[in-house]
Structure 1
């Protein structure tokens, strides 16, 4: 006889999680072990427990909690503060990343220089100055739709040049 795992989960998941919380597990660990319990129930073929799946689920969750506690005692998890992490981590990019970024900036500048004056101006107003397309249109003497076409073409041009490096 196969169990309806979906129905069992709806009926017993919260109860299992509360039971694990009473054992002293954190909310997250209790939720993880509850999920693991149902995963075991899905993949296992228990014998002789078809008449009481609830008891089987509780036994599996207790066993998983015992294993979890045993692992936690043998290899405790140490929490370190963010101040220690920040002291160890170097906020500067690696030399390779810095070189790559410089190459991309140079390629972007070259790509912008290749654009017609009006297209470059519309792109710079949009991308660098943060103006909307409706605000840029009158400045370059075009409609909103034409302005959008210029900016779209500029984005495509720069993107295509960046793909080359």
Structure 2
């Protein structure tokens, strides 16, 4: 049974490394141990049928595939069952903007504020009432004592002016 001895030798020599590898994927040491054991059983069964050219590489591949499969199953179950809080937290995407995105947004805001300061008083007020306070054109017209059409024209003019102040990004 030379194939079994070779598989056993590879398993024994790299067991700790394999467990660490699986644990990095699963973040669960006990499950990583199980994955490595399952992988060794599979490679031993394959080697009984014939020699493998690169059994160490193949063993690592089996461990990786098994660990990824278990990880996917855990995530699916967490979504379906509600899962435990740690599993659910992994599924929530990080929506924190990058430093670059934040810098670009601040720069654009600075440009818009500069554009807003350049507008005539009535146009600036109409745009602020619409964009910041969320008033409808009818409400802006009543507050400023103008027609709805003029309120609309002032808001459009203000938005267009401010948009021109924001540099175009590739």
Structure having the higher helix fraction is 2
Give the TM-score normalised by structure 2: 0.48
Give the TM-score normalised by structure 1: 0.49
